[in-house]
Chains A and B, each alone.
Chain A
């Protein structure tokens, strides 16, 4: 029933975004402290680079770029799901407490278990993931009512409450520790892409491979869930079941990316919104575009953060610099 001209428009935007991402990838691979000029990129990619060039590209930049891209995609998809399920355009994994949940878990783990760099590093995504999942379950339980199931509005309010409380808890934890020890946590909180190694790519990728098709298959249900509840029930959507499944997907996607990239907010808010602006509210059309846009936004933020100044600005901060004004703009223009 979707008009052919609209499909064409979507293909155009998808193509455009793919080109933009490609160009950004080129820039990202050639910018940073160590020099790897553009004309050396192709030779290095095809294996004809010097040892130093190959090392910079394959061991430092490439995993980081891919992680950034994937995490941005996951956060965007997570935000898009949350917005539709809660029927609120301002929902974002960061705003409803999932980031904070991961943050608290990582902080506690970091402080109460002695750090042994090697193995510890690979535990962090897992710990963050568990923290986010526990938070999500708590938010769910607190916003659940026996007679009505979960109400989207409750979910958001409880989530915002949890987010604030957990951030407070994290401040308490951090301030009770010595400064050097919490340096890592502070960086993590700021959204510094720290897990920039190949294993993290493989930790992130499976989630996207599972949940992108899963969500796209649910596109019609998401269309209906974002309408009024009685309309969705009326045509036979099992709203409680669908909400739980989709919320799980959203939490998993956000948790796994945040635990690798650190606390990054706003991507889940901005990317779906931009995609909806461009192509309209149908999930089968805007989700793919939102996924690409999210990946691109985080890639841009990280590239800017590590090439603009001599000190590295965490991607989370760059995203917030763009995201906060955008959030205010959204607030002012939403009806």
Chain B
């Protein structure tokens, strides 16, 4: 049973609509990636699904209930978010930041139980950040910091994890490190992962399901082989792409591309 879906949802800021009447169902226990060019509404969709941005009309449903009707703390036990370029960890240690992920389980006094400590340690371990536990977050490299933020999301113990461009600002090796961590969480723990990615080949390689957006509407949604087609990429990115096969993973990949006549201006 798929748990998360949208029904004719319309999302926007103030008076400008970014997404109009969008219908999509997020497959359960799979990795879903949202792709599209700048300003197509992929982050907006992610924010709406995670109740960071209220939507105007239509509905977003989790387990048959509209997310706006559920208590935000109850939702935080079902879905975790890693925002794009998260901030605010200034002056905190890694362990403390990860402990904030336990907020939905805490009482008013904010005391951490034995269970909380166990989950925090587990989250640090899975993300390979245990050795930084008492270090300041400020002192970490970009890749390490990103893994710590993922650990905080994991500490929420949710079945669904949303990530907004988790690989931004990371070098190639660290990008892969983050994506492989997410893949492991999906395969070994059955977590549903929904993320926005900029890199097409990463999307094709790691996602089970890709949603291709353009101007706030879905061009196509499906398995990587259904999306990594030059026709679709033409529509989504205005590029003329040559699609081949990754010799190692057998996933489709974009070998080279050029701008279409008219480029990104159309």
Q: Which residues of A contact B (CB under 8 A)?
A: 1-3, 145, 147, 217, 219-220, 223-224, 226-231, 233-238, 280-282, 284
Contact = CB atoms under 8 A, between A and B. Distances in A.
Contacts of A223: 100
Nearest to A220: B110
A11 B49 CA distance: 44
Given A1-B112, A3-B134, A238-B73, A233 B91 contact: no
Nearest to B83: A230
B194 interface: no
Contacts of B101: 235
A328 B54 CA distance: 39
A3 B72 contact: no
A233 B52 contact: yes
Interface of B: 13-14, 47, 50-52, 54, 71-77, 80-83, 86-93, 95-96, 99-101, 103-104, 106, 108-110, 112, 120, 134, 153, 156
A48 B104 CA distance: 58
A274 to B, nearest CB: 15
B81 A234 contact: yes
30 contacts: A1-B93, A1-B95, A1-B96, A1-B99, A1-B112, A3-B134, A147-B14, A147-B54, A219-B110, A220-B103, A227-B89, A228-B83, A230-B86, A231-B81, A231-B83, A233-B50, A233-B51, A233-B81, A234-B82, A234-B156, A235-B76, A235-B100, A236-B73, A236-B104, A237-B72, A280-B91, A281-B90, A281-B91, A282-B92, A282-B96
A234 B106 contact: no
Given A228-B83, A284-B110, 19 more contacts: A147-B54, A217-B108, A217-B109, A220-B106, A223-B100, A226-B88, A227-B100, A228-B86, A228-B87, A230-B83, A230-B86, A234-B80, A234-B82, A234-B156, A235-B80, A236-B73, A238-B72, A282-B91, A282-B96
A231 B74 CA distance: 15
Contacts of A234: 50, 52, 76, 80-83, 153, 156
A280 B134 CA distance: 15
A216 B51 CA distance: 28
A235 B109 contact: no
Q: Among A227, A228, A235, A281, find the residue whose CB has the most chain B CB atoms closer than 10 A.
A: A235
Nearest to B76: A236
A138 B86 CA distance: 32
Nearest to B117: A1
A87 to B, nearest CB: 8
Contacts of A224: 100, 103
Contacts of A217: 108-109
Given A1-B95, A219-B110, A236 B72 contact: yes
A101 B210 CA distance: 55
A233 B108 CA distance: 17
Q: Among A2, A220, A223, A229, find the residue whose CB has the most chain B CB atoms closer than 10 A.
A: A220
Contacts of A281: 90-92
A154 B167 CA distance: 31
A227 B99 CA distance: 14
B81 A230 contact: yes
B50 A236 contact: no
Given A1-B95, A1-B99, A230 B108 contact: no
Contacts of B14: 145, 147
Contacts of B47: 230
